[in-house]
């Protein structure tokens, strides 16, 4: 028997009453499924690094998945994300007869809601303890406890790209009273020349280690007159079990720059 459910984009997805085989094309969702229902995953991308001991078939990257390999795994459900995966690839998987569930997450609240629906409605699992722990950890974060700061958040260089409007990472930073200079830009990830970034004279430059791996030697030197904080991209951009530790980890990283 099957159920017809709506994913985050409102697409109808025909899901078996008992999902037994899942391919995930999103690293954070791979971790979420692996921690919630061990053994359910049969495939994941090369970028799915958590949990470290995950032993499944690898199907290349988020932007170039091996569609034949995904199909050959005969999954009951393929999990994807509207930002990380290409529409053409997801359409091809649907055309091959696979059920594809697409998440859309722009805020922390949407992350919790999306995870509830994916794990509970689509996969038929009880709410995992880590999800309750993550909600509790973030409920304890009070923006008023942090100084008001304006920041730029580069995510790439050569060319320089930054967080723009409506991003999950940007929403997390507002929880620490950090305003994004480009929060109202027309693009979600605009390309901005370095001189223009420097000219904004932000209070802070936030440099995550993914998707571009900024390091103490690669990034801060471009903003010599602005305090820079390097932090975990997984804690800033992933929504899944990493959220249980992200609140504390980001608090430590961001307060160290005060």
pLDDT in tens, the chain (258 residues): 888 999 999 999 999 999 999 999 999 999 999 999 989 999 999 999 999 999 999 999 999 999 999 999 999 999 999 999 999 999 999 999 999 999 999 999 999 999 999 999 999 999 999 999 999 999 999 999 999 999 999 999 999 999 999 999 999 999 999 999 999 999 999 999 999 999 999 999 999 999 999 999 999 999 999 999 999 999 999 999 999 999 999 999 999 755
Does any domain span residue 239? yes
Token duo for residue 92? 């091809």
Quick one: 111 and 178 in the same domain?
no
Does any domain span residue 121? yes
Rg (CA), the chain: 19
Residue/partner pairs of 94-102 with CB below 8 Å, 24 or more apart:
96/67, 96/71, 98/70, 98/71, 99/13, 99/14, 99/15, 99/75, 100/7, 100/11, 100/13, 101/7, 101/13, 101/15, 101/77, 102/7, 102/8, 102/9, 102/11
Does any domain span residue 231? yes
Domain boundary among 127, 154, 188: 127
Q: Is the Cβ–Cβ distance between 202 and 229 less than 8 Å?
A: no
Does any domain span residue 140? no
Quick one: 122 and 154 in the same domain?
no
159: domain range? 145-255
Quick one: 154 and 44 in the same domain?
no
Quick one: 189 and 82 in the same domain?
no
Quick one: 116 and 166 in the same domain?
no
Note the pTM of the prediction, 2 decimals: 0.94
Q: Which pLDDT score, from 0 to 100, does residue 1 have?
A: 80
Quick one: 122 and 157 in the same domain?
no
Does any domain span residue 135? no
Q: Which pLDDT score, from 0 to 100, does residue 31 have?
A: 98
Q: What is the CATH number of the domain that holds 12?
A: 3.40.50.1980
- Please state the domain count of the chain: 2
């Amino acid at each position: 028997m099957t159920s017809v459910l709506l994913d985050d984009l409102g697409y109808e997805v025909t899901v078996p009453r008992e999902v037994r085989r899942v391919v995930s094309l999103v690293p954070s969702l791979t971790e979420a499924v692996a921690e919630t229902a061990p053994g359910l995953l049969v495939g994941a991308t090369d970028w799915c690094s958590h949990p470290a001991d995950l032993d499944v078939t690898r199907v290349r990257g988020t932007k170039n998945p091996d569609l034949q390999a995904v199909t050959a795994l005969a999954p009951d459900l393929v999990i994807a994300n509207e930002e990380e995966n290409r529409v053409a690839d997801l359409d091809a998987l649907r055309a091959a007869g696979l059920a594809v569930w697409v998440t859309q997450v722009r805020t922390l609240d949407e992350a919790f809601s999306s995870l509830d629906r994916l794990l509970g409605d689509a996969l038929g699992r009880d709410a995992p303890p880590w999800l309750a722990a993550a909600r509790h950890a973030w409920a304890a974060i009070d923006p008023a406890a942090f100084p008001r700061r304006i920041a730029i958040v580069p995510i790439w260089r050569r060319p320089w790209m930054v967080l723009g409007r409506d991003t999950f990472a940007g929403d997390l930073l507002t929880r620490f009273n950090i305003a994004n200079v480009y929060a109202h830009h027309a693009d979600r990830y605009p390309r901005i020349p370095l001189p223009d970034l420097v000219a904004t004279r932000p209070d802070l430059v936030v440099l995550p280690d993914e998707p571009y791996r900024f390091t103490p030697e690669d990034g801060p030197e471009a903003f010599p007159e602005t305090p820079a904080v390097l932090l975990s991209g997984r804690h800033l951009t992933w929504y899944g079990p990493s959220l249980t530790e992200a609140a504390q980890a980001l608090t430590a990283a961001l307060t160290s720059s005060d």
